[in-house]
Structure 1
Amino acid sequence: MSAVDKEDLKKKIIEVLKTVFDPEIPINIYDLGLIYKIDIDDEGVVNIDMTLTAPGCPIAHILVGMVAEAVRSVPGVKDVNVKLVFDPPWSPLRMTPEGRRAFKEIFGYDIVEAWIKRTGGER
């Protein structure tokens, strides 16, 4: 698989990840910043590192399964491995601009500004 093919496949994977939503925060997991890494090998095997908003999430295994199922549905993906990681820990600073806007529309405040005020901008 060429670099161009991998980049096209990655774009399709990101689009499908935007259909998977965090059950507690009604924002998709990509814009929420839960996807840390998407690697695609030459055979079309996709390796994803993802995290959770809280390490003790009781539905972690369900969310990992939802990610794997969604990515497997993308034409060109031969297999997918999803790894749950907690380093670095998630923070609102990882959200995309779209995720940040969605959060503000839903909850009425800018979570990144609130996070920076509370923590001084650290992870």
Structure 2
Amino acid sequence: MNEELQKIQDQIVTLLRTVYDPEIPVNIYDLGMIYDIDVDENNNVTIEMTFTSPACPASDFILSDVQMKIESIPEVNHVDINLTFDPPWDQSMMNDEARLELGMM
């Protein structure tokens, strides 16, 4: 990945760390809800993500927040968010910061 694309990807991760599931006091990135971030050579972004539950009542809010924040990066041309439940999310996907925040360490 070239330096410009890496810079965009780093900005995306920073912004994703400001998106929270209203029911969980940890951001969606640290929770492991982001499966993949792809930035192509035209600065189009594809995010593959999930929710902690397929019945997540905050799904519309979270998706809107992700879309809005990534679109706010001036270099980004287009954002696609692909929602998947394969593999289903589980607690093992959380990073250490999330586990610590939730008192699991």
TM-score by length of 2: 0.93
More helix by share: 1
Structure 1 residue aligned with 2:20: 21
Structure 2 counterparts to residues 1-123 of structure 1, below 5 A? 3-104=2-103, 110=104
In the TM superposition, what whole-angstrom CA distance separates every residue of 1:27-53 from its partner, at most 9, and x where no partner exists? 111011110110011111100011000
Question: 1:96 & 1:76 partners in 2: Cα distance?
Answer: 28
Unaligned runs of 5+ in 1: 105-109, 112-123
CA apart distance, 1:58: 2.3
Unaligned runs of 5+ in 2: none
Asked which structure has the greater CA Rg, the reply is: 1
TM-score by length of 1: 0.80
RMSD, matched Cα: 1.3
Q: Tell me the matched-pair count.
A: 105
- By relative contact order (CA 8 Å, sep 6+), the higher-ranking structure is 2
Question: 1:59 & 1:21 partners in 2: Cα distance?
Answer: 10
Q: Is 2:21–2:58's contact at 8 Å kept on the other side of the alignment?
A: no
The one-letter amino acid of 1:55's match is P
Question: 1:69 & 1:96 partners in 2: Cα distance?
Answer: 24
